[in-house]
Structure 1
Amino acid sequence: MRTIVITGGTSGIGQALAHHYLERGEEVVVLSSDPVKGEAFLDRARRTGAADRAHYLEADLSLVSENQRVLKEIAARFPVVHALVLCARYFRSHRTVTPEGFEHNFALYYLSRYLLGYGLVEQMDKAEQPVIMNIAGPGAGAAGIQWHDFGLEHGYDGWSAMFQGGRLNDLLGVSFADPARGHRARYVLLFPGGTRTGFAGDFDPVTAFQVEQMKLAAQPVEHAVPPIVHIIDSPPREPLSAFVEGMPLSLHRPAFDRGAAARLDAVTRKLLSDRLGV
Structure 2
Amino acid sequence: MRTVVITGGTDGIGRALALSYLERGDRVVIIGRNTEKGNAALEAAARRGAAERIEFLPADLSLVAENRRILDTLTDSCPVIDLLFLGARYYRSTRALTEEGFESSFALFYLSRYLLTYGLAENLERADAPAVVDLSGPGGDLSRIHWDDLQFARSYDPDAVMHQCGKLSDLLAVAFTRDHPSHHIRYILMHPGLTATGFTGEYSPEDATTVADMRRRGQPVDAAVARIVRHLDDRRTASLSAFMQDTSVDIESAAFDPRAARRLADHTRTLLEGAGLQH
Aligned to 1:134: 134
Match runs of 1:216-255 below 5 Å: 216-255=216-255
Secondary structure (helix, strand or coil) at the match of 1:276 reads coil
CA separation in 2, counterparts of 1:183 and 1:201? 36
* Cα pair distance change 1:237/1:245, threshold 3 Å: closer
Aligned to 2:110: 110
Instruction: Please say if 1:273 is aligned against 2:276.
Output: no
Equivalent residue letter for 1:115: L
Secondary structure (helix, strand or coil) at the match of 2:213 reads helix
Secondary structure (helix, strand or coil) at the match of 2:4 reads strand
Aligned to 1:36: 36
Q: Name which of structure 1's ranges 265-274 and 223-232 shifts more when overlaid on structure 2.
A: 223-232
Match runs of 1:95-106 below 5 Å: 95-106=95-106
Match runs of 1:1-278 below 5 Å: 1-178=1-178, 181-278=181-278
Gap regions ≥5 residues in structure 2: none
* Cα pair distance change 1:177/1:200, threshold 3 Å: same
CA separation in 2, counterparts of 1:182 and 1:274? 31
- 1:179 to partner: Cα distance: 6.1
Q: Aligned pairs, how many?
A: 278
Give me the CA root mean square deviation: 1.2
8 Å contact from structure 1 (residues 27, 54) kept in 2: yes
Gap regions ≥5 residues in structure 1: none
**Normalising by the residue count of structure 1, what TM-score does the alignment of the two structures yield?**
0.97
CA separation in 2, counterparts of 1:160 and 1:172? 18
8 Å contact from structure 1 (residues 186, 235) kept in 2: no
- 1:210 to partner: Cα distance: 1.0
CA separation in 2, counterparts of 1:71 and 1:277? 14
8 Å contact from structure 1 (residues 10, 38) kept in 2: yes
8 Å contact from structure 1 (residues 139, 256) kept in 2: no
CA separation in 2, counterparts of 1:277 and 1:251? 31
Equivalent residue letter for 1:126: R
**Normalising by the residue count of structure 2, what TM-score does the alignment of the two structures yield?**
0.96
